[in-house]
């Protein structure tokens, strides 16, 4: 931070100088693009007659690629003398993006391992929320560099998280309505909770972005 006084007004002005290196923003953008892919694979997993084994294999590859990007972010933070934001915020953002991918990967893995025969249609609505969250997050990451037009992003993510909460309650109510056998309820509940956790993780990322914007504003 540099402070100087205006010659004409005597008012002190503060300027924050940021490094011009864009690699951090490129890495966060890449990390968010993994989430778009992961959400798309989750939607494929719910499709009728999906080759679940093949989709799960692709998801594992996508999750591995996301891990590699997260490791690159951590390495970049550790090796960079002057970072664009606080190091703690950079770590939190990288970790938050990785958490989303982990939860979507878990949901895909559970659908495969539990050999769920019937997928409630309400699950698709929840995955639609996840896909929208992924698209918004991917679009927001490049704007971190300029801090422009980010407020709409975290407001919309918060709205989507509220929609996800309502979907979650409705799905639980349906599961315990007596329509499903006990073993199916247990299986589906785990999947429902993973989807809810993924949406919550998207909101956590949006909250981190908001905190960074407040600090840097």
pLDDT on residue 6: 42
Whole-angstrom distance, CA of residue 144 vs CA of residue 209: 8
pLDDT on residue 5: 43
pLDDT on residue 19: 52
pLDDT on residue 173: 94
Q: Which two tokens stand for residue 159?
A: 């709205």
pLDDT on residue 17: 52
Whole-angstrom distance, CA of residue 126 vs CA of residue 92: 25
Residue 191: burial class (beta carbons within 10 Å; 0-12, 13-18, 19+): buried
Give Cβ neighbours of residue 111 (< 8 Å, ≥ 6 apart). Answer: 45, 46, 52, 56, 119, 191
pLDDT on residue 12: 46
Per-residue pLDDT of the chain (217 residues; tens, 9 = 90+): 444 344 444 544 444 555 556 799 999 999 999 999 999 999 999 988 899 999 999 999 999 999 999 999 999 999 988 888 899 999 999 999 999 999 999 999 999 999 988 888 889 999 999 999 999 999 999 999 988 889 999 999 999 999 999 999 999 999 999 988 999 999 999 999 999 999 999 999 999 999 999 988 7
pLDDT on residue 117: 80
- Model-wide pTM > 0.85: yes
């Amino acid at each position: 931070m540099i402070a100087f006084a205006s010659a004409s007004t005597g008012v002190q002005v503060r300027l924050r100088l940021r490094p011009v290196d864009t690699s951090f923003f490129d890495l966060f953008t890449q990390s968010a693009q993994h989430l778009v892919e992961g959400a798309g694979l989750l939607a494929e997993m719910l499709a009728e007659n999906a080759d679940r084994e093949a989709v799960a294999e692709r998801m594992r590859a996508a999750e591995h690629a996301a891990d590699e990007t997260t490791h690159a972010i951590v390495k970049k933070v550790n090796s960079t003398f002057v970072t664009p934001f606080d190091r703690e915020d950079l770590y939190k953002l990288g970790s938050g993006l990785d958490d989303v991918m982990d939860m979507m990967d878990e949901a895909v893995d559970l659908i495969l391992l539990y050999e769920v025969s019937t997928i409630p249609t309400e699950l698709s609505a929840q995955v639609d929320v996840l896909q929208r969250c992924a698209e918004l997050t991917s679009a927001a990451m490049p704007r971190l560099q300029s801090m422009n037009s980010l407020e709409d992003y975290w407001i919309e993510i918060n709205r989507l998280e509220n929609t996800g909460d309502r979907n979650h309650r409705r799905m639980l109510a349906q599961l315990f309505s007596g329509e499903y056998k006990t073993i199916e309820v247990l299986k589906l509940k785990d999947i429902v909770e993973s989807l809810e956790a993924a949406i919550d993780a998207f909101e956590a990322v949006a909250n981190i972005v908001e905190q960074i914007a407040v600090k840097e504003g």
